[in-house]
């Protein structure tokens, strides 16, 4: 019965709290997978178009989440389910290495010893002008000043400079 409600075969007045939990869980997993597929760079600096797209996704999936249940208990069940799923994702990402590789993108080296790593730029859809912009924001004038640049899992870029000072960080392996 829960599955039938989750895929829309049961009318809202026939659904129950468990049905709502299953609906939220299905949408959560689908959207998480979709955003993971988009890539880390897409979520770090959203353009107006991307923000509108994200808002439209919320409007499109909203009716299927609650199946017409606009009650306060329904909203609380939905919100509690979402918070619980977020907590479970956090715990599993922390404790299970294999789950972390599925749910989060690893950091990738985009600059290695003053040179752009072209295949990584293509794979992560990062333009050289984006990297140069991030370098300027970090006070770095030229590509040759960068020992390595990393596209972090959250989509931000970090840089280690050739300035002779010990950064305390290990040099990443380049594949």
- What is the per-residue pLDDT across 83-141, written as a single tens digit (0 to 9) for each? 888 888 888 888 998 888 777 778 899 999 999 999 988 888 888 998 998 888 888 88
The residues spanned by each domain of the chain are 2-103, 108-161
Q: Is the pTM of this model over 0.75?
A: no
Nearest to 27 by CA among 66, 55, 56: 66
Identify the CA nearest to 142 among candidates 164, 120, 126, 163. 163
CATH code given to domain 108-161: 3.30.240.20
pLDDT band at 150 (very low <50, low <70, confident <90, very high): very high
Q: What is the pLDDT of residues 30-87, one digit of tens each?
A: 777 777 776 655 555 665 556 666 766 777 777 766 667 776 677 777 778 878 888 8
Given a cut of 60, whether residue 6 has pLDDT beyond it is no
Residue 4 has a pLDDT of: 44
Q: Interhelix angle for 17-38 vs 72-95, to 10°? A: 50
Distance CA 162, CA 124 (A): 25
**What pLDDT, on a 0 to 100 scale, did the predictor assign at position 170?**
47
Nearest-5° angle of CA 156, CA 161, CA 164? 155
């Amino acid at each position: 019965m829960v599955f039938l409600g989750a895929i829309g075969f049961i009318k809202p007045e026939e659904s129950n709290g468990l049905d709502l939990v299953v609906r939220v869980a299905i949408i959560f997993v689908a959207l998480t997978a979709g955003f993971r597929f988009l890539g880390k760079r897409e979520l770090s600096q959203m353009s107006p178009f991307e923000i509108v797209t994200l808002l439209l996704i919320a409007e499109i999936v909203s009716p299927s989440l609650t199946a017409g249940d606009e009650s306060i208990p329904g909203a609380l069940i939905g919100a509690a389910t979402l918070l619980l799923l977020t907590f479970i994702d956090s715990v599993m990402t922390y404790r299970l290495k294999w789950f972390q590789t599925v749910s989060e993108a690893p950091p990738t080296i985009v600059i290695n010893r003053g040179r752009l790593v072209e295949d990584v730029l293509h794979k992560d859809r990062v333009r050289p002008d984006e990297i140069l912009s991030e370098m300027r924001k970090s006070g770095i004038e030229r590509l040759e000043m960068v020992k390595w640049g990393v596209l972090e899992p959250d989509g931000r870029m970090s840089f280690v400079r050739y300035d002779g000072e010990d950064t305390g960080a290990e040099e990443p392996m380049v594949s």
